[in-house]
Amino acid sequence: MSDNRYGELRPGQRVLMGPGPTDLDPRVLRALATPVVGHLDPDFLHIMNDTRDLIRSAFATNNHLTVAMSGTGSAGMETCLVNLLEPGDRAVVCVNGAFGQRMVDIVGRIGAEAIVVQAPWGRTIDPADVEAALKQGGVKLVALVHVETSTGVWQPVEEIAALARAYDALVVLDAVSSLGGAPVLVDAWQVDAAYSGSQKCLSAPPGLAPVTMSERARAAIGRRRTKVQSWYLDLTMIENYWGEARAYHHTAPISMVYALREALRIAAEEGWENRWRRHLRLGRALQAGLEAMGLSLIAPPEHRAPMVTAVRVPEGVDEAAVRRQLLADYGLEIAGGLGEFKGRAWRIGLMGNSCQWKNVVLCLTALSVALRAQGYKASADEALAAAQAALAAY
């Protein structure tokens, strides 16, 4: 007897302007519909090679050990940390938001010691504080977040990476929100391990985590005294699947790899520099429009990421009600705050395929309407004029 309780999938049409996932290019959607082959099929192995080369291009690296881990960006974070750290190791972890704090949690679960270098949420990490932590001695790695998704802060990397290298420590970089939307120059910055997520500025569906490891990092993994804590994320085995050996480890998410390859191909066709400039121009336009409405942005101008903007909720405004109205009336999704900013901020993304001028116009217009419904005076005309002026300046 047939069961008709479950209807056809018909999720609402949305404009995705949270900090991921993003709207997908039709080419990526078509790639998802490509017939599935086996995970050791010769055609799929060729597709894996293409994907690995494109990930290297995204990270601006020649690293041999470059893969797409099965899992979201947090799996990339855990991959880097569980492979490089063992119980008793010391790691300097930079924390200025929710995702730095997540790294501290993982380090502790490994049984390693986390030396936490903190900055207030909404501010960058001071390299002098990192050096003071390194002077304690015996530090195996320094971990930091490039763009802190909880606050929209864009952390300079080069000085901290150089300090880590001077103290013979590895550098682990969270590039989950930045990869594809801003320069992530792994080789030039001498970053040893970097990870990202497929669903943000790369504009593939969530489910894969690009990861790259330098030769220094590979050597550190080779010197381990103990097995990697996680069997599933053990790069000594994953590398044999993505490398020449093609040794079976687990069944790769075939369709997700198709989608990531196509998303990366779209990005490479646009050109990485052009893509970074698009995010910068439209991000600054959106931010100028938000400020023209009298809204306060959490990150300071000099360290404000273009692809995710954290906005303080004005006094007397119900932040959740605003988000509900945007979704109900405009099909527009933005996100609420995390951690210290839960209930006190919105996070607006302009990432990948969602990073378009029409979305800037929609967001500013719709937000002004929703704010006025809450009794907050917001002019869409002034916001759009400021956004257009900022766009012209870039």
Kindly report, residue by residue over 139-192, the tens digit of the pLDDT. 999 999 999 999 999 999 999 999 999 999 999 999 999 999 999 999 999 999
Answer whether 73's CB lies under 8 Å from 149's CB: no
The whole-number average pLDDT for the span 332-344 is 97
Residue 220 and residue 307 share a domain: no
Residues forming beta bridges with residue 20, ordered by sequence position: none
| Short-list 378, 360, 356, CA closest to 369 | 378
pLDDT, tens digit, 9 for 90 and up, residues 199-256: 999 999 999 999 999 999 999 999 999 999 999 999 999 999 998 889 999 999 999 9
Q: Give the whole-angstrom CA distance, residue 246 versus residue 249.
A: 9
Q: Say if residues 77 and 228 touch (Cβ distance below 8 Å).
A: no
Q: Please measure the distance between the N-terminal and C-terminal CA atoms of the chain and give it in whole angstroms.
A: 63
Last residue of one domain, picked from the residues 268, 286, 315: 268
Q: pTM surpassing 0.85?
A: yes
Q: Is the pLDDT of residue 91 over 90?
A: yes
Tell which of 223, 241, 268 closes a domain: 268
C-alpha torsion 68→74→79→85, nearest 10: 160
Please state the domain count of the chain. Answer: 2
CATH code of the domain in which 323 resides: 3.90.1150.10
Q: Which tokens go with 15?
A: 């404009």
**What does the DSSP assignment read for 313-338?**
PPTT--HHHHHHHHHHHH-EE-EE--
Sequence letter at residue 282: L
The verdict on 194 and 249 lying in the same domain is yes
pLDDT digits 0-9 by tens, 13-60 = 999 999 999 999 999 999 999 999 999 999 999 999 999 999 999 999
- Identify the pLDDT of residue 221: 98
Q: Is 335 within 8 Å of 351 (Cβ atoms)? A: no
Token pair in block for residue 226: 């103990």
Q: Are residues 253 and 172 located together in one domain of the fold?
A: yes
Sheet holding 308-312, edge to edge: 308-312, 345-349, 335-336
The reported pLDDT for the residue numbered 308 is: 98
8 A C-beta contact, residue 308 and residue 179: no
Question: Are 122 and 188 within one domain?
Answer: yes
Neighbours of 375 (CB within 10 A): 9
Bond preceding residue 26 cis, omega within 30 of 0: no
Domain presence at residue 5: no
Tell me which long-range contacts 184-187 makes (C-beta under 8 A, separation of at least 24). Answer: 184/58, 184/59, 184/60, 184/146, 185/60, 186/59, 186/60, 186/61, 186/63, 186/212, 186/214, 187/60, 187/61, 187/62, 187/63
- Together in a domain, 261 and 306: no
- pLDDT tens digits along 264-279: 999 999 999 999 999 9
Give me the long-range contacts of 241-247 (CB less than 8 A, separation at least 24): 242/48, 242/52, 242/67, 243/64, 246/40, 246/45
Asked whether residue 221 falls in the same domain as residue 298, the answer is no
C-alpha pair distances (Å), 85 with each of 112, 129, 217, 228: 7, 22, 11, 8
- Is 1 a residue whose pLDDT tops 70? no
pLDDT score for 5: 87
Q: Are residues 120 and 171 in the same domain?
A: yes
- Is residue 3's pLDDT more than 90? no
Q: Are residues 264 and 277 in the same domain?
A: no
- Give the up-direction half-sphere exposure of residue 47: CA atoms within 13 A in the CB hemisphere: 22
Share of the chain above pLDDT 70, in %: 100
Residues 40 and 176 in one domain: yes
* For residues 283-288, average pLDDT: 98
pLDDT at 281 over 90: yes
Same domain, 212 and 291: no
What is the domain-level CATH number for residue 263? 3.40.640.10
pLDDT at 4: 79
**96-152, pLDDT tens digit by residue?**
999 999 999 999 999 999 999 999 999 999 999 999 999 999 999 999 999 999 999
For residue 124, give its domain range: 26-268
Same domain, 130 and 236: yes
Rounded Cα distance, 254 and 73, in Å: 18
Domain assignment of residue 136, yes or no = yes
Instruction: State whether 232 and 352 are in the same domain.
Output: no
